[in-house]
Structure 1
Amino acid sequence: MTGQLIGAPPVEAPLEEFRESARRWLAAHAPTGGAVRSPHDVSVFHNMDFDTEKAVLDELRAWQRAKFDAGYATLTWPRELYGAGLPTEYADAFKEEEGALVALTRHELMSVTVNLIAPTVRLYGGEVIRDLLLPGLLDGDLTACQLFSEPGAGSDLAGVATRAVRDGDSWVVNGHKVWTSGAQFADWGQAIVRTEPGSARSRGLTTLMIPMDAPGVEIRQIRQMSGGTSFNEVYLTDVRVPDDHRLGESGQGWEVTRATLGFERANASNKSGVGGSFAQLVELARRVDKLEDAGVRSALAEVRMREVAAEIALRRDKRARDAGEAPGAAGSLRKLQWVAKLGLVSETARTLLGARLAVDDGTAGTFEWNAHVLGAPGYRIAGGTDQIQRSIVAERHLGLPPEPKPARRPEEGTR
């Protein structure tokens, strides 16, 4: 099954001709109902009941399938792997046109599946797992979550304690993962586990793809203070995973995980429309009759400057990517910038609304900002804490010496 550009220009078509063809296709096929996102939605994390969230995912999966069948879902992937083999600027052009014409409610599980885990499987999966997963991960038939964080190792992924023991052609996994977005809906999970007894930190880790309906997998939803249940705990008890579901070599799981985190950081700084925008803040200021207030205008200008700076940075990153340069610490820098902008947006919304932020009086586009204010601090942790990102920037971008590590206890081993 290989995606084909049905009705789109051939590979050698000029970029603007491709863009125009994509625009026509989007105008003809873009969903117009169901999970279309409200213009007043400024939430950072979901606040939906289970059935509503599932319906949103179902529509997003259907849209992903439509794009895949038309050849637009995997524009830059090689033709032998369900792609079109086009340069990155073609994918960027399609995303821009899609953003202008498609307003479906977003869901992190789809982004993780398509932008993080599918590329990791492509890079590190053996023939069996690639054939098993790639078509479905790309066409919306399958979804996958990240089984990374643990109660004792949140952003410090090198400290994972979940263990896997080799038993013939399989691994037996036992452990506890937490803060797993979308686990209750996911078909698969990418798990980092410790496979070498006595190993410490980033050594002795392995990455496995685990079916989320396998015997021994238990998922418990976590209620957030904003009301939703996006996050989950996942308990793994004697879960058997075939060795051909492994990504990368045994003991080299840290390399695989770092690749996934690299994809995540690159996407974390490019969340257009997530968590409130300059345009939505301007509309809020107009609605509460504070647009002429000097302090408000100053805050709005600061938000807009940060948006423009992010757009410039993304273009710079794109040029570096097209030139084949390694991403380095760029993703961490962008994520820190984006989180700072989220905080500024929250502060401006609080200034504009005051007590109305806590009371739903029925006025559209006001109380909705409560979800933003409650959710925005979470992104200081999600995708790697601010402290972790700063350490990455300091060590890999500025060349500063690493932070001193605590002395290892004798029982932790020396490997």
Structure 2
Amino acid sequence: MTAPEIPIETAPDAAEDLRAFEAASRAWLEARLPRRDTAEQDANYSIFHNLGHDDEKALIDAGRAWQAERVDAGFGALTWAHEWGGRGLSASHERIYAGVEREYLTPERHENILVTVELVAPTLLELGSDWHKERFIRSFLRTDELCCQLFSEPGAGSDLAGLSTRAVRDGEGWRVTGQKVWSSGAQFSEWGLLIARSDPAAPKHKGMTAFMVPMDLEGVEVRPIRQMSGGSTFNEVFLTDALLPDEYRVGEVGDGWKVALTTLGFERQSSAGIVDAGGNTADLIRLAASLGITESADGRGRIAECHIYERAQALMVARYSELEQAGAVPGVEGSIGKLVWTQNLKRVGDAAASFLGHRILADTGEADTFAWTQHLLGAPGYRIAGGSDEIQRNIIGERGLGLPREPR
């Protein structure tokens, strides 16, 4: 995909009236998309996709086209600087646009798109070379190319510092050998952000280096993993003597841990507030109404509890965004927000299961019943993705509360 040849409307500065911006956002969306409250939709509460390869690729392609259209119109990279195709607006503008966009039926933003736009692009902006920024950022923001994470390994999941994939100097480049796992969207990605051990003699949090890896490079093999919720979004990636030029290195030699922490910080923020997956309070209210149990004290209590935590999560994300926009380095907000979100995924699923009873167990063709199994089967996955709940609690305790480190 290439940028259109029509001129892009110049963006207003950060002092633009927020209500005028909201009106402009709604007018732009109204001209392009149906409203959610008027469009017919099939019940879909999946957290991880249950699709074949071709169907998942079609879903991703639709999301990529929508992301490119948003960026070209000035609504897809609102807080990014003009030099990267953004508008240089505030986190408040971004939240307003996100709120308005939720009123419309948009193409789904696959996690592969989120990783590219929300994790890798900002990591390269912060730590990449001038060449990386020029080569990748605009392409990644428009999703002309996609990027996956090549972090976790079979023997080093949440303990990323224990990874064993090796990067060895080979002339002017690096030869990489090892295995990665749980790489979302690797089979659809043009690039991967890789962390490898470049100095096995160094302490394990040191001696790591980050690289951008072309996924079609000789020596790179992607094998999809079948998930219990269906589909194969996750993958194993095998690297066998894959030769990378040194210009693909991100950051200094030995700074891989810094790159990883930067990306994981964006990932926790993304998981806490950007990923829109599974059922939510609005879905529970609709379900309760269809079952005629809106007057049930237990049901009302469950829905209220879910709504309280959704609201708390939204406020945390707003606080995180304002801190980031102000130039501060947020602390443990991302970890807290992710915990709030993953726990509420379970809370919503438990509420739906209690409302439906045995009707959730088999696909009888009755609408809005068996569809909830996709939520129940997918929710446990996000207690691992982006750092497990246990790791998030360690981060909060040790870095936020100053508690003694857990024995290693």
Report if TM-score (shorter chain) is over 0.5: yes
- Equivalent residues in 2 for 1:228-243, closer than 5 Å: 228-243=231-246
Q: Is 1:6 equivalent to 2:26 in the alignment?
A: no
% identity of equivalent residues: 45
Q: 1:378 aligns with which of 377, 381, 400?
A: 381
In structure 2, the partner of 1:135 is 138
Residue type matched to 1:161 in 2?
S
Q: For 1:215 and 1:306, how far apart are their aligned partners in 2? A: 47
Q: For 2:34 and 2:184, how far apart are their aligned partners in 1? A: 25
1:64-94 CA deviation, whole Å, 9 max, x = no partner? 1111211222222222232222222222222
Q: 1:111 aligns with which of 114, 120, 125?
A: 114
- In the alignment, structure 1 segments of 5+ residues that lack a partner are 406-415
In structure 2, the partner of 1:147 is 150
Number of matched pairs: 403
Contact 2:66 2:107 in 1 (8 A): no
Equivalent residue of 1:29, what SS?
coil
Deviation of 1:31 (Å): 7.6
- Equivalent residues in 2 for 1:8-407, closer than 5 Å: 10-11=12-13, 12-30=15-33, 38=41, 40-271=43-274, 273-405=276-408
1:97-151 CA deviation, whole Å, 9 max, x = no partner? 2222243223100011000000111111112222221221011210000001000
Equivalent residue of 1:310, what SS?
helix
Equivalent residue of 1:368, what SS?
helix
Equivalent residue of 2:185, what SS?
coil
Q: For 1:395 and 1:186, how far apart are their aligned partners in 2? A: 35
Q: For 2:350 and 2:76, how far apart are their aligned partners in 1? A: 37
Equivalent residue of 2:109, what SS?
coil
Which deviates more from structure 2 when the two are superposed, residues 37-46 or residues 149-158?
A: 37-46
Q: For 1:23 and 1:286, how far apart are their aligned partners in 2? A: 29
- In the alignment, structure 2 segments of 5+ residues that lack a partner are none
Q: For 2:98 and 2:260, how far apart are their aligned partners in 1? A: 26
Q: For 1:366 and 1:145, how far apart are their aligned partners in 2? A: 34
Q: For 2:355 and 2:34, how far apart are their aligned partners in 1? A: 34
Contact 2:153 2:180 in 1 (8 A): yes
1:299-351 CA deviation, whole Å, 9 max, x = no partner? 11211111122222223333333433221111000111111111111111111
Mark the CA change 1:230 to 1:13 in structure 2 (over 3 Å): closer, same or farther.
same
Contact 1:2 1:81 in 2 (8 A): no
Q: For 2:186 and 2:83, how far apart are their aligned partners in 1? A: 30
Deviation of 1:240 (Å): 1.0
Q: For 1:290 and 1:271, how far apart are their aligned partners in 2? A: 31
Contact 1:9 1:21 in 2 (8 A): no
Residue type matched to 2:178 in 1?
G
Equivalent residue of 1:401, what SS?
coil
Q: For 1:315 and 1:128, how far apart are their aligned partners in 2? A: 32
Q: For 1:37 and 1:111, how far apart are their aligned partners in 2? A: 26
Equivalent residue of 2:203, what SS?
coil
Q: For 1:378 and 1:280, how far apart are their aligned partners in 2? A: 21
Which deviates more from structure 2 when the two are superposed, residues 4-13 or residues 353-362?
A: 4-13
Q: What TM-score, normalized to structure 2? A: 0.93
Equivalent residue of 1:208, what SS?
strand
- Please give the root-mean-square deviation of Cα atoms over the aligned residues, in Å: 2.2
